[in-house]
Structure 1
Amino acid sequence: MKAVASDSAIVLVVDDSPESLGMLNIALNNAGLMVLVALNGAQALSIIERITPDVVLLDGIMPEMDGFDTCRAIKQKLPNIPVIFMTGLTDSEYVIKGFEVGGVDYVTKPIVPDEVLARIRVHTQNAKLTQSAQAALDYAGQYVFCVSNDGALEWATPHVHELVDSLNGDAPCAWEQIQQLLAPWLAQGDQSQPLELTNFEPPLQAYFAGEHGSNHLLVRLVTPKKTKTAEALQQELPLTKREAQVLYWVSFGKTNWEVAQILDMSPRTVNKHLEQVFKKMGVDNRTAAAAISIRILESDEEAVG
């Protein structure tokens, strides 16, 4: 299903009365809304296969497929879309039935355009807030935030708030700096390369994570991995500085001769260091020692991602 790129709400009006459709089409268009019309449930379902409306105005009583069955079918495809029933029946049984099948509100005929417009504004806004909240929950365990096209913050996951609160000790200032850097990056239209946020400690990278709606962008924060050195091996393993250096280069597949050239020692000395490394690590050969070393060197120490 394709969402039409438009700043105005898209309203799908479903009614078997051409007169009602014509009146609502004029009133909603005059209010700046984009209007789609369907004379029956089947047409409505065909439309939402191609275009996703923001709200549906649905006649409750129609021949063949009535509004209640149509609402059920719409909700199966678009569970979060608000459906407002239009009905000339004030009997509470029909009102209750409309809510039971997924309707969020109802208006009675004859339709009062200003009332319908007020209901549309309320329910489309509520739907957008719900979608944003749902998206925030979906990304809750990640370092993702949502911005407008100019980089202004709209929402951020708890992980992002915690991170930004820790940057330079001034969260409002940090968000302002991030927005100033994001705006030109987003405006250039090519986010294939990450945005470097090097003025923070630790330095960060911002990756484009996709679109959320027509005018909202998702951004993911990542701390670039630091290249570990032999010191990391010495901290994790019971090795001397020189033994850790030898193991470090062995983990890169270097031969004893190559390690000797790098560390300015003889191959015989390298071999003696390796004997001590194997003994201290409780392994029998360089392959096993290198495997442990690689796990330490490649262990994830990213703060975010």
Structure 2
Amino acid sequence: MTAEMKTEKARAAAWFRTLRDEIVACFEALEQSHSEGPFSSETAGQFEVSETTRSSADGSDAGGGLMSVMRGGRVFEKVGVNISEVYGTLGERAQNAMAARKGLPGMKEDPRFWASGISLVAHMRNPHVPAVHMNTRMFWTPHAWWFGGGSDLNPCLEYKEDTAHFHATQKTQLDPHGSEFYPRLKDWADEYFYIPHRNRARGVGGIFMDDQNSGDWEADFALTQDIGRAFLPAFAPLVEKRRVQTFGEAEKDAQLIHRGLYAEYNLVYDRGTKFGLETGHDANAVLMSLPPLAKWV
């Protein structure tokens, strides 16, 4: 590993931490500012922060991260904002999965890796406020590096204007990198966040990319940063607008059923869930995406 790549890895990990701090501060501010509407008289939520660790087969240091979770707030029923920096040697199952990935040759011959990223999932108290997911990450092996990530909106009660705002904000952030990026990443999200056994998408889409290695690390890092920067302006205004709306049992029931759909996707199809569990990362951190309550019919 070159000294240059050490610097690049450190820059990526530091950026994910910076983005995490900005999001945590924004979400706690949304809790504090919720002064009218459902749940506004309750105690504002705050994040509980704990360190996470990754176990290696030989007991050596394999990295870890921070798990930040808020439960039972005025606005957020459960939200996790995790960052990680893990490294070591991939096991056989993870090697096989990575070896088949575009742009990741040589994993069987030299299975060393390093990965860092941020992962966020928010489940909201008011069913009018959409659930949301966001992650960005960098993955390195001795043979290649790549970036990935995106964000997608998951309303149980869709408002067309909210969907339009979420997508328009992401497009605005990505267009400076080239007009081709937003439509390509939107289509990729539509394909990735699809639940085959239900024959439907899990939400209203967003943007997603994986295995991003153009050969220009700076350009790919800048793109990844702007995917992260798009998140709060795309999502926070929707929270502020919808958190004051009243709702009844029918809306809450729709939310719980939609959460069941979300749980199915994350447990059956999500790459990040599979990678985290197969590489020995803290199971609570990996599965923080699951909703606190869900329903199946």
**Larger proportion of strand:** 2
Q: Tell whether the structures are fold-level matches, with TM greater than 0.5.
A: no
Structure whose alpha-carbon radius of gyration is higher: 1
